[in-house]
Amino acid sequence: MNLMERCAAFAAACLLAGAAVAQPITVSNVKYEETTQLADSTLQLNGAGVRYKAVFKVYTAGLYLEKKAGTPQEVAAQKGPKRMSITMLREIDSTELGKLFSRGMEDNMDRAAFSKLIPGVMRMSQIFSDHKKLVAGDQFQVDWIPGTGTVITVKGKPQGEPFKEPEFFNALLGIWLGNAPADWKLKDALLGKPAA
């Protein structure tokens, strides 16, 4: 094989590798694209997995960041936009989901830090209560947009004013990435760790 053929073969291999990387990931029949756009930034899928409660699949979640991160500290250290994308796999009472999220935030913060976020937590709970229930296939996103705040989007519609405090988004992420996560396997999946 001469040099030109080797170069052509190498270029073809690179194209194939690039195509393989750009494939969406499917988790419980929910497709997560490899990249997404948020606030003029291209975010890449850091990891995706399923939230189980007992033996039941509740929802899938995908974490998008500007660059890959393998620890909660690396996720928190990134200053750019971030997105947590969630798709329901079963019907759930939205008020109950709001309460579970509030509890998840509280379980992963010290009491003083959590008490400062109580107005935001109450407003978030109200957002979910207003939707009555979420059914399989319903989606919502929690986005961190620098200079704007945390934006919660349910079924494609942004919900009220952004939550301005950066701590609020990190507290929300604590539900999935904190020291007492909702689901340890989901935490590993969101951090891009292969399933054991």
5 is a domain residue: no
CATH number at residue 155: 3.50.70.10
Contact between 133 and 123 under an 8 Å Cβ cutoff? The reply is no
pLDDT band with cut points at 50, 70 and 90 for residue 2 = low
pLDDT of 4 strictly over 60: no
* Model confidence pLDDT, tens digit, residues 70-127: 999 999 999 999 999 999 999 999 888 888 899 999 999 999 999 999 999 999 989 9
Find the distance separating the first CA and the last CA of the chain, reported in whole Å: 42
9 is a domain residue: no
183 is a domain residue: yes
CA distances from 144 to 9, 23, 108 (A): 42, 25, 19
Q: What confidence score (pLDDT) does residue 128 get?
A: 87
pLDDT band with cut points at 50, 70 and 90 for residue 182 = very high
Domain membership of residue 88 as a residue range: 24-190
Number of domains in the chain: 1
How many angstroms separate the CA atoms of 119 and 137, rounded?
A: 29
CA distances from 104 to 44, 59, 143 (A): 25, 15, 18
Q: What confidence score (pLDDT) does residue 166 get?
A: 82
Q: What confidence score (pLDDT) does residue 111 get?
A: 93
170 is a domain residue: yes
Task: Provide the whole-model pTM.
Answer: 0.85
The beta strand positions in the chain, using DSSP E, are 25-27, 30-32, 35-38, 41-53, 56-65, 82-88, 92-93, 133-134, 139-145, 149-154, 157-158
Q: What are phi and psi of 137, to 5 degrees?
A: 100, -20
* Model confidence pLDDT, tens digit, residues 46-71: 999 999 988 899 999 999 999 999 99
Q: What are phi and psi of 165, to 5 degrees?
A: -70, 130
Which strand (E) or helix (H) includes residue 94? helix 94-107
196 is a domain residue: no
How many angstroms separate the CA atoms of 133 and 140, rounded?
A: 12
Q: What six digits make up the tokens of 190?
A: 């969101």
163 DSSP 8-state letter: B
If one counts every other C-beta atom within 10 angstroms of the C-beta of residue 116, the result is 13
* Model confidence pLDDT, tens digit, residues 5-46: 654 455 444 444 444 445 689 999 999 999 999 999 999 999
Q: What confidence score (pLDDT) does residue 85 get?
A: 97
Q: What confidence score (pLDDT) does residue 15 get?
A: 45
